[in-house]
Amino acid sequence: MMESILGYVVCPVCLNSLELQAKIERRVGDDITEGKLECLTCDYDYLVTGGIPILTTPGTKPYDWFSMELTRELELFKPREALRRISDDEITSRRLTPSEPILTPEELREGEYKDSEKFLKDMFGSIEKARDHFGRQHDHDRSIFNVMMDRGHLDNADVILDIGTGYGYMVQFLAERYKSPIILSIDISYTNLKAVRGRLRILGIDNVHLVAGDALQPPFRNDQFDSIESCEGLGNIVKGLDMIGLWLMRRIRR
């Protein structure tokens, strides 16, 4: 996490500024790898772990609960019934108790593995093969991405928000195309973000700020984004699309 991100993120509870507690931070160059962000208004603390600021609301675990729970439900029910159970809140994300760590040791180890060259080499055979894979995928999706960039006026944007990072196909495409704009990307899954973080670092892409957070309670300042886009990310939100739409209208700088 770069310290400059503090100009864009806020406490997701009260939307006031966050301060970095310098006494406990760890850095590698300009990258803050471990630390704590403090909200002086509502007295909540938010961890920076593995270079990722975790800005979910207190008690919200930063994991892709929708995909995990849907996978489990599909083992028991047909797709329509599985989705109904989630949509009707019969199946929800797991809340953390005050004594639970926000990430388990297993999740931390998974995150560090996904942030490494070994992960890319295990997945694709080599760094160059990984680069080729994402290049081919970008070529395959280029027409879709171009439409999104055109309709979102991304060519004229200085600050861009990507909602639903996922495996980072869209945000990597944007970062490689736009070298100067600031790009922030939010996703609920810490381990997914670690995989994207490692790949971007290894490929030499440094204009993306990754944030672990909930798109329904986004930890960002008002009126600071020139453009907001989401490539498939909103498809993971079973409820709240109307709330997302209202938030988008309020957050895009006029």
Q: Give backbone dihedrals phi and psi of 78, rounded to 5 degrees, phi first.
A: -70, 160
The helix or strand, by DSSP H or E, that contains position 214, with its residue range, turns out to be none
pTM of the model: 0.86
pLDDT for position 49: 95
Would you give per-residue pLDDT tens digits along the chain (254 residues)? 899 999 999 999 999 999 998 777 788 888 999 999 999 899 899 999 999 999 999 999 999 887 888 888 888 888 888 878 877 888 878 788 888 999 999 999 999 999 999 999 999 999 999 999 999 999 998 898 888 888 888 888 899 999 999 899 999 999 998 877 899 999 999 999 999 999 999 999 989 999 999 888 899 988 889 988 887 665 555 554 444 444 444 454 44
Q: DSSP string of 78-133?
A: -HHHHHHHHHTTSS-PPBPPTTS-SS-HHHHHHHHHHTSHHHHHHHHSSHHHHHHH
62: amino acid identity, one letter: P
Give the rounded distance of the alpha carbon of 188 from its chain centre.
6
What distance in Å separates the CA atoms of residue 200 and residue 172, rounded to the nearest whole number? Answer: 7
Q: What token pair was written down for 164?
A: 């639903």
According to DSSP, residue 76 is labeled: T
Q: Give backbone dihedrals phi and psi of 5, rounded to 5 degrees, phi first.
A: -65, -20
Residue 26 buriedness (CB in 10 A; 0-12 / 13-18 / 19+) = exposed
List of domains in the chain = 60-94+103-251 (3.40.50.150)
Of 238, 244, 240, 241, which is closest to residue 91 (Cα–Cα)?
238
What distance in Å separates the CA atoms of residue 87 and residue 7, rounded to the nearest whole number? Answer: 35
CB contact set of 158 (below 8 Å; sequence gap of 6+): 180, 181, 182, 226
Of 23, 59, 50, 28, which is closest to residue 38 (Cα–Cα)?
23
Cα angle at 187 between 114 and 232, to 5 degrees?
105
Q: Give backbone dihedrals phi and psi of 188, rounded to 5 degrees, phi first.
A: -80, -20
pLDDT for position 211: 96
Q: How many residues does the chain have?
A: 254
Contact 173, 147 (CB under 8 A): no
CB contact set of 190 (below 8 Å; sequence gap of 6+): 49, 50, 52, 54, 62, 63, 103, 107, 111, 212
pLDDT for position 72: 86
pLDDT for position 247: 45
pLDDT for position 194: 97
